[in-house]
Amino acid sequence: MKVPRYTTQKVAFGIITAAAVGVLIPLVLVIAYIVLQGIGAISWEFISAMPRGGMREGGIFPALVGTVWLTIGTAITSIPLGVGAGIYLAEYAPDNWFTRTIRLAIINLAGVPSVVYGLFGLGLFVIFLRFGMSIVAGSLTLGIMTLPVIISTTEQALTSVPQSFRVVNASLGGTTWQGVRKVILRQALPGIMTGVVLGLERAAGETAPILFTVAAFFLPRLPHSIFDQTMALPYHLFVISTQVPGMPIQIQYGTALVLMVFVLTMNLLATLIRRYFRRRRQW
Amino acid sequence: MQTPEMPKDLDWREFLVEQLIRLMGVSAIGFVLLIFLFLVREGVPALVEVPLSNLLGQRWYPTFEVYGLVPLVLGSLLVTVGAIAISLPLGVATAVFIGEIAPDWVREILKPGIEIIAGIPSVVIGFIGIQLVSPLVRQFSGAPTGLTALTGVLLLAYMALPTIISIAEDALDAVPDSYRHAAYALSATQWQTIWRVVLPAARPGIITAVMLGVGRAIGETMTVMMVAGNAARMPLGFDAFLRPVRTMTATIAAEMGEVARGSTHYHVLFVVGLALFILTFLINLAAALAIFRQERGGGRRFLA
């Protein structure tokens, strides 16, 4: 029997639509469930107090502060280097085997497992450079992990600026660097900012790279300096959901909720930057 | 845009800036080498202290100086293959939906939605796995525990989806519209066009998507450590999916915190890391070469 081809199409489209919807449903369910279960734990004390009673009471303040510090540290280490490398690839790099090697290196950096970054950070920053387990070591490790995202989004943002901007710059006697600094970078800034925020978002939620480089199991005080250990939200969620018996479930969901809000706010920020500037774009 | 030399009329400050930018660009290669160097530096003592027959054994009991890596490698392979088997069809179907079928407003919801999935921290997915998925797995399978390879597979599949969807969609997007128009002109339906023309034309890109998805799944750490049960045994037999399993990544993450620095066990964990690095390096190299062959100088859009 020959099935009419439009029937085949209907069935196929039905299956594909179901698959696409099926991908989104767990996301909505999970976010809704974490919010419902965790909202009860959220209070000013939960956000602003030290953990007490073997972390089963009190708040998550030091973990929250630690994650903020690590995110700032990651930004400081990864943004200048990543944007610089992106500028090189987009505006200066000749099309030859050496540039292709750089691109290969970036693709591979993006694919290195996060726990291997942790080992690398342990070997280089903690042991070899004697930073110890510290915010510096953790930030540098997370920063290098974030580099490929920032480099590639910067390059993308720069190459999407039309060639005519460069031509006009050159015709007015501007050098390449003058063009980059005064024209191209300004045009590409929203794209670069979006990429930076998305990269930092991923770093803020990472656990494996900070396991052996900075994260403290339990440290009920704020870090004294950048050479101090700190608690961090993702590692704290790991600890209280697997390592501490008799942990009240509400605190676990509350911590997961705070981490999700932290990370998704950055995601939202990136989306808003993109939306806002796309409307005001000059080309 | 040529390599900067020092013309006489060029400002020396500008020359410095350009050299600095060049250095930053080249630093990417430096970091890959640096990672490799430090993994080797910390891993090599293990290769000296532990006989190869021990490392290639089938048992992992570090307390008794038995360091067989085979169960860990097989564990990683098991969950990765399982995850890709689920996320490949689901991911490509979603990419086809986004790229070929969906009306604009649905696309506007799906695209940021998928970006959000990519942004959920793996520790949160692991937490959800413990709280919601593992009880379900235990109920449906009748296994004594819900922390099994299957639980890990389900969650890893979900985490590999954003990678596969976005890269597969790029690949579909790169198929020229003239192909579609030609198919319609021959009175093909939209589905026939997708199935017989667009998907085959996009195959190299879809293979790239799968390879990067594999890389993502094999390197995922926190989720598998939290939900897959972590028993370092050979994952063989039909019921392997319903038993706990231990991956290479989870082994490093779980044990590195407890070993004495400089001990044999410590160095062996770096060997595991080195193996992971080389494995993902090869996977990404293959994916990258596939991209370069498609469009010279491309590859950057596949990273973001």
**Residues of A with CB below 8 A from B101's CB?**
13, 16-17
User: Rounded mean pLDDT of chain A?
Assistant: 92
- What ipTM did this prediction achieve? 0.92
Beta strand pairing status for B60-61 and B66-67? antiparallel
Q: Which residue of A has its CA nearest to B217?
A: A113
Classify residue B34 as exposed, middle or buried by CB count within 10 Å of its CB (0-12, 13-18, 19+): middle
Nearest to A259 among B94, B97, B124 (CB): B124
A34 lies within 8 A of chain B by CB: yes
What is the distance in angstroms between the Cα of B257 and the nearest Cα belonging to chain A? 7
Count of all residues that appear for chain B in the document: 304
pLDDT in tens, B124-165: 999 999 999 999 999 888 878 889 999 999 999 999 999 999
Classify residue A68 as exposed, middle or buried by CB count within 10 Å of its CB (0-12, 13-18, 19+): middle
B262 lies within 8 A of chain A by CB: no
Cα A51 to chain centroid distance, Å, stands at: 26
Q: Which residue has the tokens 């399993």?
A: B245
A3 lies within 8 A of chain B by CB: no
**CB contact set of A20 (below 8 Å; sequence gap of 6+):** B93, B94, B97, B98, B102, B110
Q: Which two tokens stand for residue B87?
A: 């996320």
pLDDT in tens, A20-40: 999 989 989 999 999 999 999
**Residues of B with CB below 8 A from A266's CB?**
119
What is the distance in angstroms between the Cα of B145 and the nearest Cα belonging to chain A? 15
pLDDT at position B6 = 52
**Residues of B with CB below 8 A from A155's CB?**
300
Return the number of other C-beta atoms located less than 10 Å from residue A18's C-beta. Answer: 12
Q: Which two tokens stand for residue A162?
A: 């039309």
Nearest to B27 among A17, A81, A207 (CB): A81
Q: Which residue of A has its CA nearest to B93?
A: A16
Q: Mean pLDDT throughout B280-288? A: 89
Q: Mean pLDDT throughout A122-148? A: 96
Break chain A into its structural domains and give their ranges. Answer: 5-40, 42-279
A203 lies within 8 A of chain B by CB: no
A89 lies within 8 A of chain B by CB: yes
pLDDT at position B5 = 56
pLDDT at position B304 = 34
CA distance B84 to B147: 19
A27 lies within 8 A of chain B by CB: yes
pLDDT at position B295 = 56
pLDDT at position B112 = 85
A126-140, B184-198, B235-249: which has the minimum mean pLDDT?
Answer: B235-249
pLDDT at position B297 = 38
Cβ atoms of residues B85 and B249 within 8 Å = no
pLDDT in tens, A209-237: 999 999 888 888 899 889 999 999 999 99
Q: Which residue of B has its CA nearest to A86?
A: B25
A111–B283 CB contact, under 8 Å: yes
Q: For residue A18, is pLDDT > 90?
A: yes
Interface of B with A in 107-166 (CB under 8 A): 109-110, 112-117, 119-124, 126-128, 130-132, 158, 161, 165
**CB contact set of A131 (below 8 Å; sequence gap of 6+):** A125, A137, A140, A227
A47 lies within 8 A of chain B by CB: no
**Residue environment code for A210-235, b if the CB has 16+ CB neighbours within 10 A, otherwise e:** bbbbbbbeebeeebeeeebbbbbbbb
A276 lies within 8 A of chain B by CB: no
pLDDT at position B2 = 52
B199 lies within 8 A of chain A by CB: no
Q: Which two tokens stand for residue B34?
A: 């640096």
Cβ atoms of residues B60 and B66 within 8 Å = yes
**Residues of A with CB below 8 A from B133's CB?**
none
Domain A42-279 architecture? Orthogonal Bundle (1.10)
CA distance A24 to B117: 9
Question: DSSP label at A57?
Answer: E
User: Rounded mean pLDDT of chain B?
Assistant: 88
For residue A139, give Cα distances in angstroms to A76, A180, A204, A206: 8, 29, 10, 12
More confident residue, A53 or B222: B222
A130 lies within 8 A of chain B by CB: no
